[in-house]
Amino acid sequence: MKLMETMCEKGHEKVLFVNNEKAGLKAIIAVHNTVRGPAIGGCRLYPYASEEDALFDVLRLSRGMSHKNAAAGLDFGGGKGVIIADPSQKTEAMFEAFGEAVNALGGCYITAEDVNTDCNDAIIMTRKTKYVCGLPAVSGDPSPFTALGVWQGIKATAKVAFGSDSLKGLKIAVQGVGKVGYDLCRHLHSEGAELYIANRKNMAILDKAVEEFGAKIVPADKILSQECDILAPCAMGAIVNPDTIPNFNCKAIAGAANNVILDLASGQALKDRGIYYAPDFIINAGGVINAAGEAAGNYNEEEVLKKVYNIYNTVERILTESKETGRPEGVIAEEFAENCIYGR
């Protein structure tokens, strides 16, 4: 009953629990909304501490995908898949089984790669289902498009917060330097930003960023309180919460991570501190824009790039309205997305 209440509260249409012992698969697929079209959203693999944590994550992420896709002007709804496992446990059988689960939904959910999954995993899924996008032979790795959109969103954030979208000389702290974070650092460095970076794993990529971009490494437990102009979270979500808000030492938060703000109260508290926030599902939509271009058929990279660059305009619009009205950016962004879905 609690699950049904949560689904109704957040507007979810379907939640599928998958337990395939033979394949070593435990997963949850959540379809939030299909008003604009089939739900699209990646498959995340993560060692959740409990099934409850996995459910909480997939429900939040799938709802975020509905808002992300609608706000980006895509003719798709929102969904998400999570596999409960350590990345070291990945097997072909696991992804074949996940593909079977996707196929059982009959096309109302289209999957793709996400955290700890990649194009090779997506290819394995295609053995069991056609409802997969982000394939190397078509649109490929979505990470560069995500990074491109975040870069544009950061420029728009700088314009509203500092009066200019030039990043030259701005101090930007990047939490999480993976595929997206590294490519983002490349864009930021090209405009003369001063970079501070941190990872909890993969220290080698930090050394590479130091060499290539002149970045400065910050301990992972210090990056959120690093003195900077813009904090760019590019790892896991919920980094804006009652514990972290008093310690932020930045003027704005704009990055690639999903579900950056824990809850509405945290969003208001951030606003009360005078810190600008580029809503995550607006600024990080580049990857799904690219994947949706493939899922819609007749993939056209030029059209995809137009939509990715338009992230700049949407972020600027939302932050400007927030600046003028005093309302939290996340609230304004959700209203905008809901209007795109339901036309109200």
**Is 80 annotated as catalytic?**
yes
Q: Which helix (H) or strand (E) holds 95?
A: helix 92-104
Half-sphere exposure of 117 (CA within 13 A, CB side): 30
Cα–Cα distance for residue pair 129/254, rounded to 1 Å? 35
Cα–Cα distance for residue pair 287/146, rounded to 1 Å? 4
The one catalytic residue in 26, 80, 155, 271 is 80
In SS3 terms, 272-337 reads as HCCCEECCHHHHCCHHHHHHHHHHCCCCCHHHHHHHHHCHHHHHHHHHHHHHHHCCCHHHHHHHHH
The CA dihedral of 166, 167, 170, 172, to the nearest 10 degrees, is 150
Size of the chain, expressed as the number of residues it contains: 344
Query: What contacts 95, CB < 8 A, 6 or more positions away?
Result: 117, 121, 124, 125
Cα–Cα distance for residue pair 276/52, rounded to 1 Å? 32
Half-sphere exposure of 261 (CA within 13 A, CB side): 25
Q: 238: buried, middle or exposed (CB in 10 Å: 19+, 13-18, 0-12)?
A: middle
Q: Map tokens 């446990």 to a residue.
A: 89
Look up residue 4 and give its two tokens: 């049904």
Q: Which residues are catalytic?
A: 80
